[in-house]
Amino acid sequence: MRAFFLLLPLLLLACGTASQETHSLSPEAFAARLHEPGAQLIDVRSPGEFNGGHLANATNLDQNAGQVQAYAGSLDKSKPVLLYCASGRRSAAAREFLIGQGFNDVVDLQGGIHAWTAAGKPLGN
């Protein structure tokens, strides 16, 4: 019984990591999802960051300014929502919010736009 309680935290961490990995995609997997019909690509960085370079066809909704929360109602819950930011923190927070609002297919770019450009993926400015 004692062994179970010692292993329980590790099991919980493993489950949390698996769940996060399911919703956070590598640049390659994220790029593949961009071509899905109706995919809604959202850049959750600030307008200044967005203007410095972004993925083609992205809509800018600044997570820190509350725009994701304010405009969630204008997104289609029946279509995929693909989120990204600079490093993955803001997009993960936006993802969790949207899932809480009833969106079923919400993913974010693991490592953000930094990982995207490091993988040699193009920006659409």
> At 40, is the secondary structure helix, strand, or coil?
strand
Q: Judging by beta carbons within 10 Å of its beta carbon (0-12, 13-18, 19+), is residue 7 exposed, middle or buried?
A: exposed
Catalytic residue among 42, 44, 58, 85: 85
Contact 43, 54 (CB under 8 A): yes
Answer yes or no: 85 catalytic. yes
Provide the strand spans (E) within 1-125: 24-25, 40-43, 59-60, 81-84, 106-109
**3-class secondary structure, 125:** coil
Q: Could you list the active site residues?
A: 85
